Structures are given as C-alpha cells and as structure tokens.
Homo-oligomer: A and B are copies of this chain.
Amino acid sequence: MLVSIKDIAKKAGVSISTVSYALNGSPKVTKETSERIQAIAKELNYIPSAAARSLKKRETKIIGIYLTNYSGAFYGQLLQGMMETLSENGYELIVCSGKESHRFLPERMIDGAIILDATYETEELLSHAERGHKLVVMDRRMDHPNISQVLLDNKAGATLAIDHLAEKGHRKIYVVKGPEISFDARQRLAAVQKAVQRYSHIEYVELEGDFNKPSGEIAAKKIHQDFKEPVGVFCLNDEMAIGMYNYLSRTNLRVGEDVHIIGFDNIEVSQYIQPRLATINYSKHKWGALASELLLNLIKKKKPEHERINVSFVEGDSVKNR
C-alpha cells in the first residue's frame, strides 16, 4: 500500500541508495537514470516519510513558536513575519500551544523554538538549552550560549506614554497594570514608576489589570467612582483600554475629555474605535522576523544575540490637553 524508495528501486531495477541519491538531486547519478527514477517516483505517488528522514538526518526543518493566548490580537502579523523569514530558509513554522507540546523540543520534533509564553518555566527552557537545543525568547531575559533574545523596548514605550500625559497637562495619572507573570507588564510598570518620579506634581495611582478587556472595565469603574476632575490613564495594553472605553460609554464620562487614555501594542482595532486610541506602536512583523532570524543563526552555530525592538508613540483622539 505504502510506497517507499524500496518499491521505486525494485521497479527501476536499481538499488535504494541510487534512488535516494536521484531523489535528492545528487550528482552521483546520471541525468538519465535520475530522470527515470523521478518519473517512477511520481508514477507510484511516492512521498518520503518525514519520520524516517528526520530519524536519520537528526533534523526536521521545522521551528515551533510557543504561545499561550492565541486570542492575542497581534499574532497574525507576528507569525507572518516569522513565516516569511523561515520559509526563505527552508524551514516551516508550527504553532504550539497544548501543555504536552513542550515535549516537541526535547523529543526533536522541531529544530528550535521561539518562546512567547510566560507560562513556560524558565528552568525548563534552561534545561533544554543545556541539552543543546536552540531557543529564542521574546518574553523574558535569558543568558545562555544556546538562547537568543529579542525584546520590546517596554521602558521607552512606557516613558513615552507617561511623558505624553504629563505634557498634556495631566496631574493625576492612573496606570492599569498587567498580570504579574508577564515580563512586558513588569517592565512597563517599572518604567512607569520611574517616569512618574520625574513629575513630583503628578498624583499617581495603580489599578489592577490582567491584559484582558474585562479588567479594563473594572479599572474604569474605579476611575468613575473616584472621579473629580479630568485624569490620564495609561493602560498597559490596548485590550484593557478597549474594555475601559466600553465601561465609560455607559457613564457620563467621555474618553478624550474626562478620561484620557493611552494604550500599548497598537492592535489593529485600536485605530478603528472611536475616539482613536493613542497608543505605543511597534512592528509585530519585524519582531517575528527578527526572532526567526536569530534562531536560524543559532542553528547555524552562530553566537547568541540580544536584540531590542523599537517602539513609537501613536497619536490618538483619546488624549487631549487637560
């Protein structure tokens, strides 16, 4: 039923090694024999076995990206960037999410992994690296000969946001935090705390958040309850900002008049909601492409690299002068 190179060899009257060479375009076999073998392979509908090949070659030409929150609104562009870079180099990308998918790396189902999944234990990553597996982390800092990293410039982004609110004359600033587990959230928060210190006249309040829309609504509720005069709010991601929009729309407070909001990530929908959300932008495509490039370098035995993705401020109607 299942056709292997053995069947081709028999039909062509050659040995299996010749078939293998022919199918791989090796110059060791005549053009004519090669073509004859190719023809027979096609005729028999031959398809190589990935398992057999990777068992022998000790590689799969597949890269895995580890994600938790598939819902995240920017994965599309991120993955696009990765796929382009990888496929130019003969690699395929698969997205791994299930808890058991962690075994893909140690079991050598994939030749390397890109990590964007805070629930993946750093210890575990380290032990993989220790065994010689190649990794790129996008969600934490790690220093190891088999690990490269490419991180967002969260510090710059958060500082940009706070400075913008201060510039617009806001004297009370809320920040809606992210989940403790997220590296980006922690970095953004730390940068915010440092930035507000430069403005001694600013009253600064932290609100809980988990990067999802409902937590933005809850934060909005707090703000509504305390409301006395116009305030600035820095939501540590756009999702929560959207939750906040929604809650406020059911109150007498107006975004861009009473509550001035800045987000982070510039997800696609942020430029479609009303008023347009001011936010921190960065190229998701580039982030993914760079991560892939560094992984490929690592696989080619190059040195690990540490890169940073620049961010920029995106003007919006959600922040005006106080």
Contact = CB atoms under 8 A, between A and B. Distances in A.
A70 B76 CA distance: 5
Given A50-B107, A54-B51, A243-B272, A93 B87 contact: no
- Band of interface residues on A: 35 or more
Contacts of A60: 51
Contacts of A95: 94-95, 97
Contacts of A45: 131
A80 to B, nearest CB: 7
A98 interface: yes
Of listed A60, A100, A103, residue having the most chain B CB within 10 A: A100
A75 interface: yes
Interface string A103-139: 1101111000000000000000000000110000000
Copy tally for this chain in the complex stands at 2
Nearest to A95: B95
Given A93-B98, A100-B92, A213 B52 contact: no
Contacts of A40: none
Contacts of A47: 103, 106-107
Contacts of A55: 49, 51-52, 55
Contacts of A76: 69-72
B107 A83 contact: no
A259 to B, nearest CB: 14
Interface of A: 1, 45, 47-52, 54-55, 60, 64, 69-73, 75-77, 79-80, 83, 86-87, 92-101, 103-104, 106-109, 131-132, 213, 242-243, 245-246, 249, 268-269, 271-274
12 contacts: A49-B108, A55-B55, A70-B76, A70-B80, A71-B76, A83-B97, A87-B98, A87-B100, A92-B104, A93-B98, A94-B96, A95-B97
